Amino acid sequence: VQLVESGGGVVQPGRSLRLSCAASGFTFSTSAMHWIRQAPGKGLEWVSLISYDGTNRDYADSVKGRFTISRDNSKKTLYLQVSSLSAEDTAMYYCATDREGGSFDFWGQGTLVTVSS
Amino acid sequence: SHVVTQAHSVSVAPGQTARITCGGDSIGNIAFHWFQQRPGQAPLLVISNNSDRPSGIPERFSGSNSGNTATLTISRVEAGDEADYYCQIWDAISDHRVFGGGTKLTVL
């Protein structure tokens, strides 16, 4: 199993980014997926979930209305569109596979988003 | 949604047993999961569903859940166990996942 995130970088407040997570080594099209973030020196925060077929999506209250999760099963890629960014969104963003029972099996190494003027 | 709390830090000498707890209100029948995160690395699942150990995780790692408190126990602690440990639950009503604040394990 391999998950490789990309798309992070330095972005000004109020701007947007699209994060990607390329998956391999498992059947991506049958796996629900998550985004989890970690601010520098802080703990883990669950961000968003998408079902295996993209029909169900959910978000943490802190990002609802600003972030959009999506997936392309033909490309085995998960996305997170992050908008209206503020300094509080500065974090390492990880993608992870869903594990039966409500947890996470495999994680990528993360992509860092820094919101700064 | 549920709030889960962890002690900020735990220290233990090599060879001893470390116990890391996670608690909260109204979480009596909720399953806890535990992650290890070494510096600069992604989290790694070490215990799922309160006490199941994923493939490849040493038997020194075990978990339990009693009432409103879940416990991750690491026996015969080694220097390589030094890491941050996070508990996590699934709020089935909201379908959200919730992490505890993390406990830093220091091996003396």
Tens digit of each residue's pLDDT (9 = 90 or more) over A52-89: 999 999 999 999 999 999 999 999 999 999 999 999 99
How far is residue A102's CA from residue B97's CA, in Å, rounded to a whole number?
7
Confidence of residue B94 (pLDDT cuts 50, 70, 90): confident
**Could B90 and A103 be called an inter-chain contact, meaning their C-beta atoms sit closer than 8 Å?**
yes
Mean pLDDT confidence for B47-67: 94
DSSP code for B54: P
User: Nearest CA to CA, how far is A107 from chain B (Å)?
Assistant: 7
What pLDDT does B70 receive? Answer: 93
How far is residue A60's CA from residue B98's CA, in Å, rounded to a whole number?
10
How far is residue B8's CA from residue B5's CA, in Å, rounded to a whole number?
9
**Could A101 and B49 be called an inter-chain contact, meaning their C-beta atoms sit closer than 8 Å?**
yes
How far is residue A108's CA from residue A21's CA, in Å, rounded to a whole number?
8
What pLDDT does B2 receive? Answer: 76
What value does the mean pLDDT of chain B take?
93
Is B28 a residue whose pLDDT tops 70?
Answer: no
User: Nearest CA to CA, how far is B58 from chain A (Å)?
Assistant: 17
Tokens of B33: 């999961």
| B31–chain A Cβ distance below 8 A for any pair | yes
**Could B33 and A45 be called an inter-chain contact, meaning their C-beta atoms sit closer than 8 Å?**
no
Contact B28, B67 (CB under 8 A): yes
Is B20 a residue whose pLDDT tops 70?
Answer: yes
Mean pLDDT confidence for A34-59: 97
Contact B97, A34 (CB under 8 A): yes
| B57–chain A Cβ distance below 8 A for any pair | no
How big is chain B, counted in residues?
108
Confidence of residue B92 (pLDDT cuts 50, 70, 90): confident
B48 interaction partners in chain A (CB closer than 8 Å): 99, 101, 103
Is A23 a residue whose pLDDT tops 80?
Answer: yes
Phi, psi dihedrals of residue B98, rounded to the nearest 5°? -130, 130
Interface contacts A/B by beta carbons within 8 Å? 65
